[in-house]
Amino acid sequence: MVLKPTRREAVALLAAAAFCPRVAAAAGVRGLDAIARAKGMRFGSAVSANPRTGSFDNPAYAALLRADCGLLVAENEMKWQHVAPAPGRLNFAAFDRMLDWSDRNGMAMRGHNLVWQRRKWMPAWLEAHDFGGRPATEAARILTGHVEGVTRRYGTRVQSYDVVNEAVTPDTGALEETALSQAMGGTEATIDLAFRTARAAAPHAELVYNDYMSWEPGNAKHRAGVLRLLEGFRRRDVPVDALGLQSHLVTSGPDGSQGLLASQEEWRRFLDAVTAMGYRLLITELDVRDNGLPVEAGARDRGVADYARAYLDVTLSYPRLRDVVAWGMTDRFSWIEDFEPRPDKAPRRPCPYDDQFRAKPLRDAIAAALAAAPERAA
C-alpha cells in the first residue's frame, strides 16, 4: 500500500531528497552505508511495515533508507508474537513484504528475533499453553517448529538472525524464564536448542545472541551475565557466531557524559572478553536517550552526537564488528518517546534525523566515526 503523503510529509520528502545518494555525492556528502562499505562495514536501520511509522510505505522514510542504508531489520514484524498471533495461525505477510522491498532496493535484511526470552514478549498463547504430560518434548516440538518454520521460509534471503534476544536479567545477571523454558526444564536448554536448530535449518546464516547490556554505569551485572552465557555456549559447543550490542545509549548529566571515563574502561574489558572467545560483534539497535541534557535542541543534539561518537570510537575500534544498525532513522517514529518521555516533556531526539527528516549532528557523528574506524580486512 502506498499512501499519499500528507503536506507535512511532502515537506519532509523534499528535505530527504537532499540526501538521495547522487545529490548527496555531488554535495560531497555520502550515504552512511557508502562510508561504512569503504571500511569493510555496513550501515542500516530498523524499518516497519506500518505506513504511519518508520515504513518504506512512507516516501520520506523510504528516501532516508535508500540514502543511508545497505542493511535493514524489521522493528517488529518477525517477532514470534507477530508471526504466530494464535496457536496454528501464521502471519508472515508483513515480513514478506518488507523482504521484497529490501531485495528490490538491494539491501540486506536481518532477522529479529526468533526467541525473545521474556514472558512479556513471547506469544501470550504460548505463555498460557498446556504442555501436557511430557512438557520437555512438547516445548522442544514448538520451539524447533518455530525456528525451522521461519528460517526455512526465508532461506538464504536472510543471512543473519538474532536467534535469542535478551535472555539475561539486567539487575542480577541471572537467566530469564518463560513458560517454554520452564517446560523445557531450563533456559540454557531452550536457548541451546534454538541455536542448534537455527544452524541446522539455516547453515548459511550468522547466528547472533542480542542483548542491551551497555557501557553506562549500572550495567556491570548485566554484562557479567552475558559473559557467563557466552562462555557457556563455548563450553557446550552451541553454534553462536556473534554478540549483538543493541546500543540503546543513555546520556547523563548536563554534558551527557557523566561517569563515562570509568565505563569506557569496563566496556573495553567486556568487548575484549567477548572477542577473545571468538565472537564477532554487531551494533544492532543504535539510538540515544537524551537524559540530563538541556532542553534546547541544539545543545541536546550536540550532547547526543558527542556521546554516540565516543561510544562508536571505542566500539568500532574492534575489527570484528562490521555492521552498525540504527533503531530507526528519524525522531518522528522512535519507540523511546512512548517508552520513557523526558520529564520536561520536550520530544526526544534519539535518531540521526529529526522529526522533519533533517539530518542532525548524530548523523554526522556516525559518519565521522565510520570514516575514522580502522579498515576491516576483506
Residues that bind ligand 9MR (CB under 6 A): 75-76, 79, 121, 165, 246, 285, 335
Q: What is the DSSP string of 212-277?
A: ---SSTT-HHHHHHHHHHHHHHHHTT----EEEE--EEE-BSTTSBTTHHHHHHHHHHHHHHHHHT
- Report, in Å, the least distance between residue 167 CB and ligand 9MR: 12
Residue nearest to ligand 9MR (CB): 335
Nearer to ligand 9MR, 154 or 335 (CB): 335
CB of 94 to ligand 9MR, least distance (A): 13
- Distance separating alpha carbons of residues 258 and 48, to the nearest angstrom: 34
- HSE at residue 64, side-chain half, CA atoms within 13 A, is 34
DSSP class of 56? T
How long a stretch of residues is the chain? 378
Distances (CA, A) of 313 to 241, 258, 276, 290: 23, 17, 19, 19
Q: Which is nearer to ligand 9MR, 121 or 125 (CB)?
A: 121
For residue 38, give Cα distances in angstroms to 18, 370, 377.
22, 9, 11
Would you tell me how many other CB atoms lie within 10 Å of the CB of residue 239? 15
Helix %, strand %, coil % for the chain, to 5? 45, 20, 35
Q: What is the DSSP letter of 53?
A: S
Comparing CB distances to ligand 9MR, the nearer of 79 and 280 is 79
**Contact yes or no for 50/38 (Cβ under 8 A):** no
Q: Give min distance, CB of 126 to ligand 9MR, in A.
A: 15
Query: Closest CB to ligand 9MR among 66 and 79?
Result: 79
| Cβ neighbours for 176, distance < 8 A, ≥ 6 positions apart | 117, 118, 119, 166, 167, 168, 169, 187
| DSSP code string of 156-202 | GGEEEEEEEE--B-TTT-PBP--HHHHHHT-HHHHHHHHHHHHHHH-
Q: What minimum distance in Å lies between the beta carbon of 24 and ligand 9MR? A: 27
Using an 8 Å Cβ cutoff, are 33 and 378 in contact? no
Rg, Å, the chain Cα set: 20
Give the residue with the Cβ less far from ligand 9MR, 165 or 214.
165
Rounded least distance, CB 81 to ligand 9MR, Å: 7
Least Å distance between CB 318 and ligand 9MR? Answer: 21
Taking the C-alpha atoms of residue 165 and residue 176, their distance in angstroms, rounded to an integer, is 11
Q: How far is the CB of 339 from ligand 9MR (least distance, A)?
A: 6
Cβ nearer to ligand 9MR, comparing 117 with 246: 246
Instruction: Provide, rounded to whole angstroms, the least separation between the CB of residue 162 and ligand 9MR.
Output: 8
**What is the closest distance, in whole angstroms, from the C-beta atom of residue 286 to ligand 9MR in the complex?**
11
- Distance, in Å, from the CA atom of 255 to the CA atom of 268, rounded to the nearest integer, reads 22
**Nearest to ligand 9MR of 30, 146 (CB atom):** 146
Q: How far is the CB of 338 from ligand 9MR (least distance, A)?
A: 8
- Whose Cβ is closer to ligand 9MR: residue 29's or residue 72's? 72
| Of 120, 42, 135, the residue nearest 79 (C-alpha) | 120
- Of 119 and 376, nearer to ligand 9MR (C-beta) is 119
CB closer to ligand 9MR, 165 vs 178: 165
